[in-house]
Amino acid sequence: MKYVDEFRDGRLARALAAEIGRASQEKESYRLMEFCGGHTHAIARYGLEDLLPGNVRMIHGPGCPVCVLPMGRMDDAIAIARQPGTILCVYGDLMRVPGSQGASLWKARAAGADVRMVYAPQDVLSIAEAHPGREVVFFAIGFETTTPPTALLAKEARARGLPNLSIFCNHVMTPPAMRGILAADALIDGFVGPSHVSTIIGAAPYEEFSGPSGRPVVIAGFEPVDVLQAILMLIRQLNEGRSEVENQYKRAVGRMGNQRALELMDEVFCIRESFEWRGLGFLPASARALRPEFAEFDAERRFATPGLRASDNPACECAAILRGQKQPRECKLFGGACTPETPMGSCMVSSEGACAAHWTYGRFREEALA
Amino acid sequence: MCLAIPARVVAVNGMAGAVEISGVRRTVSFALIDPPEIGDYVLVHVGNALAKIDEAEAQRTLDALSEIAEAFDRAPVK
Amino acid sequence: MAKDRRPRLDIKRGAIDLSHGAGGRATAQLIEEVFAPAFGASGGGDDFAAIELNAGRVVVSTDGHVVSPLFFPGGDIGALAVNGTINDVAMAGARPLYLTAAFIIEEGFPLSELARIAQSMGRAAKAANVRIVTGDTKVVERGKGDGVFIATTGIGVAPLNVAVSGANIRPGDSVIVSGSIGDHGIAIMALREGLSFEAEIISDTAPLHGLVEAMFASGAEIRALRDPTRGGLAAVLNEFAQQSGVGFRIEEAAVPVKPAVSGACELLGLDPFNVACEGRLVAVCAASDAERLLAAMRAHALGREAAIIGGAVEDAHRFVQMKTAIGGNRIVAWLSGEQLPRIC
């Protein structure tokens, strides 16, 4: 696979690991957060941490839209799915995410709700056209990478005059979350910036984090060699006392991002005043909603939903883990009450959460230490 | 987030078309990018092309990485 | 006695109705005109088959088949059912001899498709030198089935001195996989509603007993055999680890995956290790016999791409650990449910 295999090359990885080993001798510790859940997954799935020296630690950020979706919002989606005649269209990632009392879309489907997995938002159009007498709802989640495709769906639905299609919008935003993490006294020295969010928003939005009281940000490609190179660039910035935005993923990311996608998002969505992030609490201006001009496609206007907040188990340490203050194994629930099959908090809910990634791919390291 | 994969454009019909990766074809929408040409590489996420891969930049990145690897081969540490 | 002038079934345009499952003349006609010719049986009329078996250990295995779609590149539910059960019997080191087949058919199912499936089963059985000797037919109301479900039971005989089991594995043993993984699951997913793409991948469904016989004939000391169907290679390795109380250390680079399967998995966010195969097996053998066993497998048509992928180790935690392409390590996890495609 071109532009994939080259960036998974073992020889390049080893050479970068050696450089990182050399460069990281200057400071006692480097605490780097990879914001994006896809990066968390890649790091775990390739065992990248085995190539890093002991004083370079990766802290796994909240860039996983499934993980940070509040349980109350999942309850709302399940309520929509349970309405007779409704077809709820979702990405596969959402099927097993628990709402309150262990409910899930998977279980709702088993009990007779019509919940269908789609690969692309455009698939929802065909379903709506094929079932004119039924309400077809798209459960939209994701960061800025996934938001423009939902915008296309809304526009196309309007162009085709589909009265039975609506969108349950849970799109969230990256820079506000990074701000939220830093504001909460996080022990983080630098960020590995997300690959594909940056394709859309560009490198410019991260510049707010530059400067003396900020943190270096290096935007990294998706493959393990990309991540290693970005880590090296971050270590060099920290050694040199710099705090800038650098771009390791120049083959896909420019400074201004994808203008067309940005305009499209702006046309269809406005920014919510505040939105709850599971594990992080309420963050201002951190999520999107459909604009009034697209109100007819807003599932929250069309359906009555419980709209309740559901709180996590008080012993859940996700909030501290997401800020790099604790590690998964320091949470009392980890591996016992809380496993990928029975997730108690956001970090375990999807395979990209810090705790899930550690459990699924990396917990042998603990056992080796024990 | 998010899973996006580079794929080669094999068909273009206005704002839609098809890409191929290792012999797997899929229809995609090009509505989010400038119309690509057959043979271009694009990043695909949930059935949509998000960006065209800048092949010159990709080569520059690989060249820089190659240099690091060659230096390592000549004088490996550990 | 008056000759029964019942008209023949309209296979081209007819459909199953509830009477075909009621056990009366309609059922008998279905057997006579669809199943018996396809299976090469004479439809003796009894509800049982009496067979004689040679000395040895009798192995029996049963399976339900609910695959959807029913027809896919490389096969159909019928071939899958026959080959799947042949393989279960073969994984015990036994020669499969006889099969039974029970059909649960949805009212309205086209006779043409049923005939096609039956013929596919007959061909698969014949190719494997196995006879379908008895079966059953039931019909459920429209909407209560997915077209057709098939349950097959297979009977075979293993030599008394052959004893393979997932519990026999010892630290140091080698692990060999017979060919590329994930072909069947991806071929199916390519057709499923909601995941629309054209892949040049066909299901690998195949009967493996010939390969297994060649493997035993090599003289290698085989500890365990299993075919990675539901749950994929990850499930088999984790099952073995639990049964034998060992761990595994495997090399990602050594596991064969077809480029198209890799590409499809990348597009969908799937891990080939969790994707089903239907014509592959995993063998664990004494390390000293690994090369010999590998050669015997590669000499067989269904083992051309066989590869040694790693070995068993002492591990109280029974982890299946893998060295990744870049030299790091990770666990090959045992999924609790079906793997779902990811966008993140």
What's the mean pLDDT in A3-12?
95
Rounded to two decimals, the ipTM of the complex is 0.94
* Contacts across the A-C interface (CB distance below 8 Å): 100
Helices and strands (DSSP H and E) totals, chain C = 9, 14
Instruction: Indicate if the pLDDT at residue C194 is higher than 50.
Output: no
Q: What is the least distance, in Å, from the CA of C241 to any CA of chain A?
A: 14
Q: What is the least distance, in Å, from the CA of B56 to any CA of chain C?
A: 23
Question: Looking at beta carbons, which residues of chain C come within 8 Å of A95?
Answer: 340
Q: Cβ contact (<8 Å) for A258 and B2?
A: no
Instruction: Indicate if the pLDDT at residue B1 is higher than 70.
Output: no
Question: Looking at beta carbons, which residues of chain B come within 8 Å of C185?
Answer: none
Q: Cβ contact (<8 Å) for B4 and A222?
A: yes
Q: Reading across the β-sheet that carries C57-65, which strands appear in turn?
A: C57-65, C148-158, C95-106, C131-140
C305 — alpha (psi -120 to 50), left (phi > 0) or beta? alpha
What's the mean pLDDT in A246-270?
97
Q: Is C299 on the interface with A (CB under 8 A)?
A: no
Question: Looking at beta carbons, which residues of chain C come within 8 Å of B25?
Answer: 197-199
pLDDT digits (tens, 9 = 90+) for C84-135: 999 999 999 999 999 999 999 999 999 999 999 999 999 999 999 999 999 9
Question: Looking at beta carbons, which residues of chain B come within 8 Å of C343?
Answer: 1-3, 45-46
How many other C-beta atoms lie within 10 A of the C-beta of residue C195?
A: 21
pLDDT of residue C201: 77
Q: Cβ contact (<8 Å) for C340 and A92?
A: yes
Q: Cβ contact (<8 Å) for C267 and B24?
A: yes
Instruction: Indicate if the pLDDT at residue A323 is higher than 80.
Output: no
Q: Find the closest chain C residue to A360 by CA distance.
A: C333
Please give the DSSP secondary-structure letter assigned to residue A287. B
Question: Looking at beta carbons, which residues of chain C come within 8 Å of B78?
Answer: none
Q: What is the least distance, in Å, from the CA of C254 to any CA of chain A?
A: 14
What is the rounded CA–CA span in Å between residue A208 and residue C240? 52
DSSP secondary structure, C217-274, as one string? HTT--EEEEE---TTHHHHHHHHHHHHHT-EEEEEGGGS---HHHHHHHHHHT--GGG
pLDDT digits (tens, 9 = 90+) for A205-231: 999 999 988 999 999 999 999 999 999
Q: Cβ contact (<8 Å) for A199 and B61?
A: no
Q: Cβ contact (<8 Å) for B24 and C343?
A: no
Q: Is C68 on the interface with A (CB under 8 A)?
A: no
For residue A137, give the 3-state DSSP assignment.
strand
| Cis ω before C207 (30° cut-off from 0) | no
Chains that touch A (3 or more CB pairs under 8 A): B, C
Q: Cβ contact (<8 Å) for C331 and A10?
A: no
Q: Cβ contact (<8 Å) for C267 and B44?
A: yes
What is the rounded CA–CA span in Å between residue A118 and residue A100? 24
- Residues near C80 by Cβ (< 8 Å), separated by ≥ 6? C65, C67, C203, C205, C278
Q: What's the pTM? A: 0.91
How many other C-beta atoms lie within 10 A of the C-beta of residue A133?
A: 6
pLDDT digits (tens, 9 = 90+) for C124-176: 999 999 999 999 999 999 988 889 999 999 999 999 888 899 999 999 999 99
Question: Looking at beta carbons, which residues of chain A come within 8 Å of B77?
Answer: 18, 21-22
Q: Cβ contact (<8 Å) for B21 and A1?
A: yes
Best mutation target, A91, A143, A358, to test chain C (most C CBs within 10 A): A91
pLDDT of residue C197: 56
Q: Cβ contact (<8 Å) for A16 and B68?
A: yes
pLDDT digits (tens, 9 = 90+) for A100-148: 888 999 999 999 999 999 888 989 999 999 999 999 999 999 999 999 9
Q: Is B18 on the interface with A (CB under 8 A)?
A: no
Average pLDDT taken over every residue of chain A: 93
Instruction: Indicate if the pLDDT at residue A350 is higher than 90.
Output: no
Chains that touch C (3 or more CB pairs under 8 A): A, B
Q: Which two tokens stand for residue A81?
A: 């799915």
